[in-house]
Amino acid sequence: MISPARNPRPSWLSNAVFYEIYPQSFADSNGDGIGDIPGITAKLDYIKDLGCNAIWLNPCFESPFKDAGYDVSDYKKVAARYGTNEDLVALFEAAHQRGMHVLLDLVPGHTSEEHDWFRHSSEAERNAYSDRYIWTDSWIAGGDGLPFVGGESPRDGTYILNFFKCQPALNYGFAHPTRSWQQPALGPEAKATCDAMVDVMRFWLSLGADGFRVDMADSLVKKDDDGKPYTIRTWQYMFAQIRPEFPKAAFVSEWGRPNESMAAGFDMDFYLDWRWDGIPNGYNMLLRNTNDPLSREGDASYFNADSGTKISDFLSEYEPRLREAEAYGGSFNFITCNHDTARVAPRLSPREIALAYCTLFSLPGVPFLYYGDEIGMRYRQLHTKEGGYVRTGSRTPMQWGDGSSDGLTGGEYLPIDTAADAPTVAAQQADEGSLWHIVRDMLHVKGDNAALQTDASFREIERKRVFAFARSTDAQQVIVAVNPSRDCKALQLPKGNYREIFKIGEIELDGTSLQLGLQSFAILEAE
Ligand code: NOJ
């Protein structure tokens, strides 16, 4: 039995709304065709005005970029193409001046094969890094079922991979070692890796970072059992060191199972776009219940006006996970998209996207808005770049449309969407009815109403084609209702007096009877 890790969650998360920035593609300050950190700093006012008060920055560290920076070759150095460590510190300071927070991306499960630790680990002679990665004991040995590489090093052994071939797995040990080369989780070698990772966290937190999004946080201990007990204890070991030093730092895991990630000590977990073997999870059912990111045909997503899908299947999967996160005082977070996930445009229309995002922003937890989603940037079919493969189409340059990052339009990183109907920030800011305005208005309403924020309670009211739920704090109660269909729907509200505080489409409120026009959304405050 694992004793749950309990931390008072940093209070700034209770009204946090994140903006995820893929640094390559966001804003280019020096015209070299690749986004950079000074470019991001120059856009902080834009992000804040949109209603986001926090940033998750994808990896920005030195790397050969075979996996877009998730192959780190120096954890403590900003990649030259993004700027310098001083630029990153300046970003932290500029964010803090605006009351904003910045999470970096920590990749603890693997490094690049070009990291110095790995170079030393590959040497024939034993040294301080020999056990930093997982090595078998012979050049010809297999990986005991784990992916491995041989024939590349002076060392007489093969090494285990965590993801791509360029990403050797750091050694956090095995849950139940069965071969002589497998070391135990939380043994001295595994703890040395943990201590090295704590040192990386301390480095950036001391310089002003506000925490980390943690890559593949569940991947550390190999052959860990169902429930990941040894990986959980490994995180508890690391958090026991870093939390007391930086009590306001926030940690969000790429894990997807809050009962495990919260026990490990994370503040938040993501409800991710995971559709293993074609079977959608709850999050997919909302937005991405399809095999084809570009076509509406066969798309059973709830927010597709034509799908006829009811919200009940989503709720059956979502609610138990929400309650698990709540039991630990943590949160289970929705993303509009991320750098690994297909953007929902053009498959969903701007109205469908508006309904979807406003619903996600109204649900419990801390929402993450992926750059460009506020204007409905489109998924595009592109050749792979830096290990992106199918993900590349969601990583294209931000469409500012005002010449503010002309370098990006040079198409050196990825081609910008130059189609005549490509959405841009400038055009949507000038159009009162645009998605950009809806997202901004919604996020400001969220910021102004405690019952729409992270921890307000959640209770479902209607789980059919119409989805309605109540969210409450001691001081406020709101009801949120969405009708994604092309028909008008009627909804009977619980007893009370209501007033409308936000809407999309046609809404009619008469006492406790709410008429929801086609493709409409309403937030009502109980008086
Ligand atoms: C998850 C990251 O989000 C993804 O982009 C990356 O390729 C893998 N982890 C490996 O680090």
Confidence of residue 56 (pLDDT cuts 50, 70, 90): very high
**What mean pLDDT comes out for the span 368-389?**
97
Are 112 and 220 in contact by the 8 Å Cβ rule? The answer is no
Taking CA atoms only, the protein residue closest to ligand 1 atom 11 is 70
Q: Read off the pLDDT of residues 58-72 as tens digits, 9 standing for 90 and up.
A: 999 999 999 999 999
How far apart are alpha carbons 429 and 459 in whole angstroms?
Answer: 35
Find the length of the chain: 527
- Minimum-distance ligand 1 atom for the alpha carbon of 387: 7
Q: Read off the pLDDT of residues 492-521 as tens digits, 9 standing for 90 and up.
A: 999 999 999 999 999 999 999 999 999 999
Q: Which CATH number fits the domain that encloses residue 353? A: 3.20.20.80
**What mean pLDDT comes out for the span 350-376?**
98
On average, the pLDDT of the chain sits at 95
Q: What are phi and psi of 491, to 5 degrees?
A: -135, 130
What is the count of structural domains for the chain?
3
- Minimum-distance ligand 1 atom for the alpha carbon of 67: 7
The parent domain of residue 146 ranges over: 113-171
pLDDT of 1 reads 41
Domain co-membership, 48 together with 98: yes
From the CA of 71, how far away is ligand 1's center (Å)? Answer: 9
From the CA of 58, how far away is ligand 1's center (Å)? Answer: 10
Last residue of a domain, one of 448, 473, 488: 448
Q: What angle do CA 431, 437, 440 make, to 5 degrees?
A: 155
Is the residue at 245 inside a domain?
yes
pLDDT of 402 reads 81
What percent of the chain has pLDDT above 70?
Answer: 97
In one letter, which amino acid is 238? M
HSE (CB half, 13 Å, CA atoms) of 201? 28
Pocket flag, ligand 1, residue 216 (CB < 6 Å): yes
From the CA of 443, how far away is ligand 1's center (Å)? Answer: 28
Confidence of residue 279 (pLDDT cuts 50, 70, 90): confident
How far apart are alpha carbons 190 and 186 in whole angstroms?
Answer: 5
Domain co-membership, 221 together with 311: yes
How far apart are alpha carbons 285 and 360 in whole angstroms?
Answer: 13
- Regarding beta strands 489-492 and 513-516, do their DSSP bridges make them parallel or antiparallel, or are they unpaired? antiparallel
Q: What are phi and psi of 18, to 5 degrees?
A: -95, 150
Domain co-membership, 384 together with 370: yes
* pLDDT for residue 115 is more than 60: yes
Are 390 and 380 in contact by the 8 Å Cβ rule? The answer is no
Is the residue at 183 inside a domain?
no
The secondary structure of 408-436 as a DSSP string is: HHTTSSS-----TT---HHHHHT-TTSHH
CA torsion angle 241 68 27 402 (round to 10): -140
Domain co-membership, 132 together with 212: no
pLDDT of 273 reads 87
Q: What angle do CA 28, 34, 39 make, to 5 degrees?
A: 25
Q: What are phi and psi of 120, to 5 degrees?
A: -65, -40
Domain co-membership, 500 together with 413: no
SS3 state of residue 57: strand
Q: Which CATH number fits the domain that encloses residue 490? A: 2.60.40.1180
Domain co-membership, 318 together with 398: yes
Q: Read off the pLDDT of residues 379-433 as tens digits, 9 standing for 90 and up.
A: 999 999 999 999 999 999 999 998 765 555 555 789 999 899 999 999 999 999 9
Provide the token pair at 80: 């030259």
Q: What are phi and psi of 232, to 5 degrees?
A: -60, -45
* pLDDT for residue 7 is more than 90: no
Beta partners for residue 250, in sequence order? 211
User: In which element (H, E) is residue 332 found?
Assistant: strand 331-333
Q: Read off the pLDDT of residues 154-168 as tens digits, 9 standing for 90 and up.
A: 999 999 999 999 999
Q: What angle do CA 237, 243, 245 make, to 5 degrees?
A: 120
SS3 state of residue 269: strand
Long-range contacts of 181-188 (CB under 8 A, 24+ apart): 181/134, 181/135, 181/136, 181/137, 181/141, 181/157, 182/134, 182/144, 182/222, 183/131, 185/221, 185/224, 185/230, 185/231, 185/233, 185/234, 186/230, 186/233, 186/234, 186/237
pLDDT of 2 reads 53
Is the residue at 1 inside a domain?
no
**What mean pLDDT comes out for the span 2-11?**
70
Confidence of residue 47 (pLDDT cuts 50, 70, 90): very high
Last residue of a domain, one of 126, 143, 171: 171
Provide the token pair at 267: 């503040």
**What mean pLDDT comes out for the span 209-228?**
97
Ligand 1 pocket mutation, candidates 216, 253, 390, 391, criterion most atoms within 8 A of CB: 216
Domain co-membership, 246 together with 367: yes
Single pTM value for the model: 0.97
CB atoms within 10 A of CB 29: 19
Taking CA atoms only, the protein residue closest to ligand 1 atom 4 is 340
Domain co-membership, 261 together with 395: yes
In sequence order, which residues have a C-beta less than 8 Å from that of residue 90 and are 6 or more positions away? 37, 38, 41
